[in-house]
Structure 1
Amino acid sequence: MDETQLREIIHRIVQEELDPNRIPIGVSNHHIHLTKEDYQTLFPHQPMEVFKPLKQPKEFASKQTATIVGPNGKIEHVRILGPCRKHSQVEIARSEAIRIGVDAPIRLSGHLDGAPSVKLVTPDGEVTVQGVIIAKRHIHMSDQDAQRFGVKLGDTVSVEIDSENRKTIYNDVICRPRADFVLEMHIDTDEANAANVGRNTFGRLIKPKDEA
């Protein structure tokens, strides 16, 4: 760790002490979750290789990618996230859904009833996945964070994003506390671009009494 990184960490800690409602913003690019069976079809005899770890424990972006094929177009080089899940799922932004001709609903991860299907293609295989969604914005947080914020699983809050020249308030943000989660709000690329979110942009949780 160099001096610049250390100063950044110290700065973040100080800021969090000054404003306990401060939340790091994580921009979630399009990605794919696969079952073991679908993974083996697309990448036969290939172990899933870690490209980089993600902020949440045990989750990572893999080196493997696939092409999403919709009725009107395709999105190439979409990264597979690990580890494998019980149900395959594709997460894209609204602008991408329009471009490939898919009427994807806005849902929390895993809520796939009625979600449309797309084809996933690699040089070694292809599968059809029923489960294309636009991820509903949400906040991962530990149980201690939830207690500090005064929220519980499934609560809806607002978050003010104070980015340069474009302050934005996002409503309908779902709280997702879990004992091992690391504090981070997830928005997609469309939302991040609209709010001018940069690498070190933070949000501030707005409680109901703050809105009164």
Structure 2
Amino acid sequence: MKTKLPIALSNKHIHLSQNDLNILFGEGYELTRFKDLSQPGQYACEEKVDIVGPKGTLKGVRILGPVRSDTQIELSISDSFALGVKPVVRNSGDILDTPGAKVVGPKGEIEIDKGVIVAARHIHMYTKDGEDYGVKDKDIVSVKVSGPRGLVFDNVLVRVAENFALEMHVDIEEGNAAGVRNGDMVEIIK
């Protein structure tokens, strides 16, 4: 049974709904692909926005595409403090009862009443990978990082689907704490 997989660090970013994109950039606006991400169909965009909270502003936050049904801002805990919003660790898409913020684009601004999260650490796996690793969608596992700053990440959600590529995602602070870089290998432990 396989246990090793690559890890990737995620920096602050925003996913936008088409309606919010229209307000921020103009009616009918389409995102400009900057570079493809590891997950199939996902990409970083040329476009950036400013996120404004009660205590501060994060300038130049990159948009990730394609558009989604709901706008969601993914930050680190330090970013949350800088904005002045309570850091809430959540799985992507689970935005009920989360803080909001103002988002400023070149053509307009929006005020979202929810959607600011600290993304929970998780693993993406293609369906066959789930079989090879002996896990299924929504399992919770631990992941060991070796090296001088080695540690064990507990409470790691496994997400298995046909359109995922094998990779663990942590935010930039978690990755830095473990001393890992994009593409380093980590190990699922049970």
Shorter-chain TM-score: which interval? over 0.9
Separation in 2 of the partners of 1:135 and 1:197? 18
Residue 103 (structure 1) aligns with: 86
Q: Which amino acid aligns with 1:24?
A: P
Query: Equivalent residues in 2 for 1:68-83 (5 A)?
Result: 68-83=51-66
Q: Which amino acid aligns with 1:87?
A: D
> 2:141 aligned to 152, 157, 161, which one?
157
Separation in 1 of the partners of 2:182 and 2:156? 20
Structure 1 residue 185: Cα displacement: 0.2
Are 1:87 and 2:87 matched, yes or no?
A: no
Structure 1 residue 200: Cα displacement: 3.5
User: Unmatched 5+ residue regions in structure 2?
Assistant: none
> 1:61 aligned to 16, 34, 44, which one?
44
Q: Which amino acid aligns with 2:102?
A: K
Q: Which has the higher contact order (CA 8 A, sep 6+)?
A: 2
Structure 1 residue 123: Cα displacement: 2.5
SS at structure 1 position matched to 2:67:
coil
Residue 111 (structure 2) aligns with: 128
Separation in 2 of the partners of 1:206 and 1:106? 22
Moved over 2 A (4+): none
Separation in 2 of the partners of 1:205 and 1:68? 35
Give the length in aligned residue pairs. 188
Q: 1:38-70, CA deviations, whole angstroms, 9 ceiling, x for partnerless residues? A: 001111154210000011111100000001101
Are 1:144 and 2:124 matched, yes or no?
A: no
Structure 1 residue 77: Cα displacement: 0.7
User: Unmatched 5+ residue regions in structure 1?
Assistant: 1-18, 208-212
SS at structure 1 position matched to 2:20:
helix
**Which TM-score applies when normalising by structure 2?**
0.95
Residue 179 (structure 2) aligns with: 196
Q: 1:82-117, CA deviations, whole angstroms, 9 ceiling, x for partnerless residues? A: 110011100000111012110131000010110010
Are 1:36 and 2:56 matched, yes or no?
A: no
Counterparts in 2 of 1:51 and 1:92: CA distance versus 1, 3 Å: same
Separation in 2 of the partners of 1:198 and 1:36? 33
Separation in 2 of the partners of 1:53 and 1:191? 23
* Residues 73, 99 of structure 1: 8 Å contact kept: yes
Separation in 1 of the partners of 2:158 and 2:181? 22
**Which TM-score applies when normalising by structure 1?**
0.86
Query: Equivalent residues in 2 for 1:18-37 (5 A)?
Result: 20-37=2-19
Structure 1 residue 180: Cα displacement: 2.0
* Residues 161, 201 of structure 1: 8 Å contact kept: no
Residue 12 (structure 1) aligns with: none
More helix by share: 1
Residue 13 (structure 1) aligns with: none
Moved more, 38-47 or 70-79: 38-47
Structure 1 residue 199: Cα displacement: 3.5
> RMSD of aligned C-alpha atoms?
1.2
Separation in 1 of the partners of 2:157 and 2:185? 17
Over the matched positions of the two proteins, sequence identity in percent amounts to 40
Separation in 1 of the partners of 2:186 and 2:108? 41
Larger Rg: 1
